[in-house]
Amino acid sequence: MITVSGLTKAFGSTVAVNHVDLAVQPGEIVGLVGVNGAGKTTLLRMLAGILQSDEGSIGIAGHPMTSDGMEARANLAFVPDTPMLFEQLTVYEHMLFMARLYGVPDFDSRLDALLEEFELADRKHATASSLSRGMRQKVAICCAFLHEPSVLLLDEPLTGLDPLGRKRMCDAVAKRAQQGSAVLISSHQLEIIERLCSRFVIIHQGSTRLEGSLAEIRADLGTLEDVFLSVTNPDDDREASPA
């Protein structure tokens, strides 16, 4: 569903993403892990068609991003780390805008179901400017889920959510994966995505350093945090926790 080959992006002399290969299958949730500045957001923005790569190829649901970008984008949703909302539009108006943009059928039923799922029904006619950080995040997620994309690209989607909100978000992502969506999620909240993801890709300084299932990558190093610290800070002589 997501296929990436040799993806590279540089900003001047700084190589942000360096020949990354990646594949995410339908129904799979893959965790993208790395320190700040590792290249995660740049990678996700290229997959979403926001940034153009310098080298390499991207396929979304069988559509090459370079030659069939409109169809590729129509099959994906990207939730950035900071919700980008129109301050004077209501929650309903945001959802209606997305519905018209993507030609969503049965809008009313999808709208009501999503607002109930994310506990926003009572905020339906509230403007974005009146919402808390967590509620704004929920609105961005509802907008992303509205057209039922086959590919979900989530950049720190748990930021600003309280514990119950994080649980509901994880349940919602798992539900979409069970329905066949391919999910690539970046998060620093390792203890949460450790339970959510079936596979992980650890990137450091723009390059893939380790990839595999949790069982595979922690076989000798312990928890996901131990693996992360070992891969991103090889000079750290900290002893790994037992598996």
Helix axes 163-178, 133-145, angle to 10 degrees: 10
Helix axes 133-145, 107-117, angle to 10 degrees: 140
Q: 139-191: per-residue pLDDT in tens?
A: 999 999 999 999 999 999 988 889 998 999 999 999 999 999 999 999 888 88
Query: 0.85 cut: is pTM over it?
Result: yes
Q: Kindly provide the residue ranges of all beta strands, DSSP E only, lying in 157-237, ordered along the sequence.
A: 182-186, 199-204, 207-212
Q: 19-71: per-residue pLDDT in tens?
A: 999 999 999 999 999 888 899 999 999 999 999 999 999 999 999 999 999 99
Instruction: For 2-232, give the CATH class.
Output: alpha beta
Domain residue spans in the chain?
2-232
